[in-house]
A and B are shown apart, each in its own frame.
Chain A
Amino acid sequence: MTNVNLGRRDVLKLAAGAALAAPAIARADGPRVLRFVPQANLSSLDAVAGTQYVVRNAATMVWETLYGVDSTFTAQPQMCEGHEVSADFKTWTFKLRPGLTFHDGSAVTTRDVLASLQRWMVRDTMGQVIHGRLDALEAIDDRSFRFRLNKPFTKMLFALGKSNAPMALIMPERIAKTDPFQLIKEYVGSGPMRFRADEWVPGSRAVFEQFAGYKPREEKADWLAGGRHMLFDRIEWQILPDPATAGAALQSGEVDWWELPIPDLVPLLKRNKDIVVDILDPLGNLGSLRMNHLYPPFNDPRARHALLMAVSQTDYMEAVCGGDDSLWQETASFFTPGTALFTEDGGGQLKGPRNYDAAKKLLAESGYNGEKVILMVATDISITKAEGDVTADVLGKIGMNVDYQALDWGTVGARRSKKDPPGKGGWNIFHTWHAGADCINPAAYTALDAGGAKAWFGWPNSPAVEEGIVAWYDAADAAAEKAAAAAINRAAFEDVVYIPTGFFRQYQAWRGNLTGVVKSPFPVFWGVQKT
């Protein structure tokens, strides 16, 4: 007798695949309305207090920054007309461009800018560096202001214009005075779209409406830089938590753009001639195996190296991306492949055949004696689930006693911040991933920070990495930045800050009648139109 196992995923495929054969009753509204299915629920809208990517993506429509990075990672003037900088990089003077207006009709002034920057500097890593060097942040008049620093800072424009959260978004002064650790309660920006708070149904729908008072720059749009010409009256974000429903809705034309189709459905979507499937984020993601450096066994570098020589990026990436080899590559680097600072210096131990015997020997030398290793796995996220399963297998192969704890991301997200011993509510290993856009340099790369107790979860302590980060901040030219990155990469592997589990990218899918969709690490809505 043959057993037929019809799993949930098979049913998903069946349901979504059916749309290939038939038209559907409902179509997305006319060409002036875009219906977009974001990667996650938009549960809040403060990209300064929070660093969720989905919040950042929505915020780029509602708010603007003084500068904005383009596709070469160069910061270009956005809200600013321009700037002047002293020869010693200690005094930065900026002037706002005329005609900037908030959605409530009030003019953008330096009072709003200063309050916004003060709030941002508390939360952002680069902002904190600026704050540490700050003598004064002062208004000259309603349109001009300046930073006076006690130490040179060459990366000011990138800091003000980067796309990584927390972004230096400019809000009205009354809103910007909100405690940086509390969410704002009013969503008033000066960007090309107004947030319709009255139509917001968290978990279901968020609506953005074109702001008539917005005056785009004249330059061609390029990521966060240039003129943000909105060709839609309304952009409706529809939260569709069920991937089969989202896939079917896209195929039937009920929605126009799906930001994160699951790999299972991509082959079906690709076969639909009305749908375009492509990788839009060229910077992808870096998988991460994070160890707790505070407690045995991974407080001993030999135990961390044992794991480093046992794990296989191929195994991780095949588990994450399925059979689509075009989506991933191995990388012995903490930096994003294809970007200026990418280097594999010091990453040799992550390459080549895996050596379980050597790993076992090193583990024994570290003093490991069969103690439980708590592996927290967020099973509600396919990436962390896949990576967690691979890690459990590897740990078993090198003789570790694995305590596999299947949790949801909400629990992992909270528990990873606990510094308690693993047996008392703490942990030994968890998985996550970092957006490639955050790993192009040390600025927004909190996971690379190795300052011990103040570092990111796992609390690695590597003075050599910290020195490298300082060297990058102080680098005067590209060559010096590259040298600093190479030093950081070597030190990060030497001290095994974390283990990169590979570089992977993800598809997006949209209806063929959408034009102007560009490759970017975040969805760019300006310049897109529907025919």
Chain B
Amino acid sequence: MWRYAGRRALSTIPVMAIVALFVFSLLYIAPGDPAAIIAGDQASAEDIARIHASLGLDRPFLVRFAEWLWDVARGDLGTSIFANLTVTHMIGQRVEPTLSLMALTLVFSIVVAVPLGVLAAAKAGSWIDRLVMLFAVLGFSVPVFVVGYVLAYVFALQLDWLPVQGYTPLSRGVWPWLSNLILPVLALGAIYIALIARITRASMLEVLGQDYIRTARAKGLGLAPILFLHALKNASVPIVTVIGLGVALLIGGAVVTESVFAIPGIGRLVVDAILRRDYPVIQGVTLMFSFLYVLVNLVVDVLYSLLDPRIRQ
């Protein structure tokens, strides 16, 4: 088991190296120049060229890439061109809101979606099944920002239960922290719940048709133990896969959700950095997200082997 996990962990190193090269190359060829943004509207072409040179952006690609890679290898993601703050510091400032948003969304989505999917499969063809699938279609179809605005309209503006925007750190109390996150989690969770519920239903339907389930029923086992102890465990590999793949969806959705609810998270950091062409920040955050994604996939791979030991061989 540990050898398997170690082998999978080692395989992430070349993946991260390719991601690093890809990110750096893309930014190198992308149009735009942070010097033009710093210089502002009144600056001349000569001013921009001077600032460009002072930032070291006129040096050859390979020199810049090698320097950056060396720094990254030593744990230094660089310094923001604009704010003169280290990228690590800027990520550190914003990691709590994003992790809070993503973790809560993930937990909330799994807790809601898996039972919904199981229920829909158990009652396949009934009105409950149709209702769950209707919700799943809506969750997929309605953009996150629309869900966000509607939730803000109802719960923040009409009912006055929750704040419109912002984030309160957990250190200032659980309720203030939670009150700022409830609406974003609901908005971001909608699509994720839809995705997991559909996969759970499909996977469960396949398993529920197996002989051993029929045997369990024939032995007089109750519905709940059959569904949740026998069927769900065997249906869980595709569900875990989708949860893992869905992290990418969550990262993309977090960018939009953080903008709509003005949460100072990493999603907004990277959007701002892209608009300004703050290369070190874009590179650092993208690398971090990529690492996170690779890590999630690693965890999913390890979970596979726990759920189905045949995969280890």
Contact = CB atoms under 8 A, between A and B. Distances in A.
B158 A21 contact: yes
B276 A22 contact: no
B215 interface: no
Contacts of B35: 414
A8 B49 CA distance: 39
B211 interface: no
Contacts of A26: 163-164, 166
A454 interface: yes
Contacts of B51: 49, 181-182
A18 B157 contact: yes
B260 A242 contact: yes
Contacts of A348: none
Contact of A43 (B45, B150, B159, B278): B278
A244 B149 contact: yes
A165 B42 contact: yes
B246 interface: no
Interface stretch (A68-76, A201-209, A506-514): A201-209
Contacts of A365: none
A24 B179 CA distance: 13
A419 B54 contact: no
Interface in B28-62: 31-33, 35-51, 53-55
Contacts of A249: 164-165, 262
B165 A183 contact: no
Interface string B251-266: 0000000011110100
A14 B32 contact: no
A252 B82 CA distance: 32
B149 A15 contact: yes
A417 B49 contact: yes
A160 interface: no
Interface string A27-62: 000000000000001011000011111010000000
B269 interface: yes
Interface string B153-189: 1001111111111100000000000010000000000
A457 B269 CA distance: 30
Given A43-B83, A200-B83, A55 B40 contact: yes
A415 B165 contact: no
Given A14-B153, A44-B83, A202-B90, A410 B262 contact: no
Given A25-B156, A249-B165, A203 B269 contact: yes
Contact of B48 (A240, A417, A434): A417
B158 A43 contact: no
A418 B159 CA distance: 53
A263 interface: no
A413 B164 contact: no
Interface in A433-460: 434, 438, 444, 446, 454-457
Which size class do B's interface residues fall under? 35 or more
A278 to B, nearest CB: 23
A181 B164 CA distance: 40
A98 interface: no
A11 B149 contact: yes
Contacts of B44: 446, 454-456
Contacts of A279: none
Contacts of A55: 40
- Chain A interface secondary structure, helix, strand, loop or mixed? loop
B152 A204 contact: no
Contacts, number: 193
B145 interface: yes
Contacts of B271: 241
A254 B163 contact: yes
B153 A24 contact: no
Given A26-B164, A411-B31, A245 B84 contact: no
Contacts of B262: 204, 238-242, 245, 249
Contacts of B165: 240, 245, 248-249, 254
A179 B54 contact: yes
B interface SS class? helix
A380 B261 CA distance: 20
Which residue among B46, B48, B84, B262 has the maximum number of chain A CB atoms within 10 Å of its CB? B262
A479 interface: no
Contacts of B25: none
Contacts of B48: 414, 417
Given A51-B42, A240-B165, A22 B83 contact: no
Contacts of A252: 156-157, 163-164
B45 A50 contact: no
A244 B153 CA distance: 11
Contacts of B45: 417-419, 457
A266 interface: no
A228 interface: no
A25 B272 contact: no
Nearest to A204: B264
Contacts of A254: 163-166
A12 interface: yes
Contact of A165 (B40, B84, B85, B149): B40
A242 B259 contact: yes
A408 B54 CA distance: 24
A270 B202 CA distance: 52
Given A248-B152, A254-B165, A44 B82 contact: yes
Nearest to A55: B40
Contacts of B46: 454
A185 interface: yes
A407 B158 contact: no
Interface string B262-291: 101000110110111110000000000000
A23 B41 contact: no
Contacts of A166: 42
A330 to B, nearest CB: 23
A26 B277 CA distance: 34
A202 B164 contact: no
A160 to B, nearest CB: 18
A24 B163 contact: yes
A25 B161 contact: yes
A179 B165 CA distance: 39
A19 interface: yes
Contact of A414 (B32, B54, B145): B32
B33 A407 contact: no
B261 A245 contact: yes
Contacts of B43: 50-51, 446
Nearest to B149: A15
Given A21-B157, A201-B264, A410 B40 contact: no
Contacts of B145: 8, 11
B38 A15 contact: no
20 contacts: A18-B153, A21-B157, A26-B166, A43-B82, A44-B82, A44-B84, A165-B42, A181-B54, A182-B55, A201-B94, A202-B82, A239-B262, A240-B262, A245-B164, A248-B157, A252-B163, A409-B275, A410-B274, A410-B275, A446-B42
Given A19-B164, A44-B82, 7 more contacts: A23-B160, A24-B164, A43-B276, A123-B47, A205-B264, A254-B163, A414-B35
